[in-house]
Amino acid sequence: MKRVAIVVAAVALVWCPSLGSAPQTWVRYPIAPASVRAEIVAIADMNVDGWDDVVYTSWDNCQVRLATNNQNGTFTDSLLIGSATQCVPALFQARNVEVAFALGGRTVPQVFVSAYQGGQHMYVEIGGTWTKFTIDSSTYGHAGIAVAHINQDGLPDVVTAKQGFSGAPGEVKVWKNLDSGQFQLMDSFVVQDPTGVVIADVDKDGSNDVVVSDSDGALWFRNGGGFTFPLTGSAILRGVGSTSKVTAADLDRDGRTDYIVVSQASGVYTVNGTSLGSGTLRSSANGGYFAATGFVDYPDDGQLDFGVSYGGPSHRIDFFRRVGGSYAVETVTTNYVTGRSIAVADLLHDGTRQLVTSSYGDGTVDWWKRQ
């Protein structure tokens, strides 16, 4: 049943050691070439060799691609899902990608794709071939997909977001994983203009809730048990304009989930989990239509830092290094054209974490190391 809610961009997390007077220089290394026209990245060990690989979507090429970690800082790029010669309709304008073990008895994780005009699907590797299982077959406006436990039955479930068009509002849907390749629609609620979804336990009651970014900030919808959600959302942060995907993490280690909200117009905000509804502006850099946040884990000082890739007009990447209760902002680059996403991984197996980014303007996927 659809219900109306007035609801009014991605991030990487890092535990950072005491950096002192260390040089604030970031060096860029290639993962995938410009010809791939990269969109969104996800990190996963796809060939089960113990090393993180990079899975990413290609909007223009209607593809999901794999950059296999060569275990020496270089990667081998290849087509994972789709066609090398024509656009597969299910992947038309492929945007969001998540990788997770959603089915029992599998050694290779499943790939979840949200294609703006192609639907939302799960792909399962069966006998060397990636087989499509459709979650939502509607063909326009898909704005996000999240994979995590909703009803605590041991199987990750799916939440999808779909933007409105032709005067119709957007919609968020909650799907139950049936462990068969099929997903059952359990609940849905209409939102004004969703730009992304996140699954997180906002109120720390043991049940995961749904966080939606939209045209006025971010809201959360409380899980009332299993798959029951309210008519209207509660504020994470409002009045900041359209946002990219919200990121959730315990930034201050107090046991509550905090949030990073990147506004397309006004900048980067953090929201403390104990004071939802108000945020602290950390940077006034313009986030553009796409912005992304990712957290990096350096294991020494217990401080959770994060990086933000701005989609434009800033065309930059910043690193927010947590110092006490505030953040020192380091510039990673001021020339990363139309950055789309950012993630974090220990690509080198050296105990540190590197930023992994995609640029639609440059077309590339890259990793960055702090020197």
Spell out, as residue ranges, where the chain has pLDDT lower than 50: 1-10, 14-22, 297-299
* CA dist list (Å): 30 to 78, 84, 286, 362: 14, 21, 26, 11
Q: What angle do CA 344, 345, 346 make, to 5 degrees?
A: 145
Q: With CA atoms as reference, report the closest residue to 145 among 118, 112, 99, 178.
A: 112
Each residue's pLDDT tens digit, 200-241 = 999 999 899 999 999 899 999 999 887 888 878 999 999 998
Q: What is the pLDDT of residue 107?
A: 92
Comparing C-alpha atoms, which of 291, 301, 208, 209 is closest to residue 245? 291
* Predicted pLDDT at 293: 64
Instruction: Write out pLDDT tens, residues 104-158.
Output: 889 999 999 999 999 999 999 999 999 999 999 887 788 899 999 998 788 999 9
Q: According to the model, what pLDDT value does residue 17 have? A: 40
pLDDT of 9: 39
Instruction: Name which of 77, 71, 74, 75 is nearest 350 in CA terms.
Output: 71
Contact 320, 329 (CB under 8 A): yes
- H helix count then E strand count, the chain: 0, 29
List beta partners, residue 191. Answer: 170
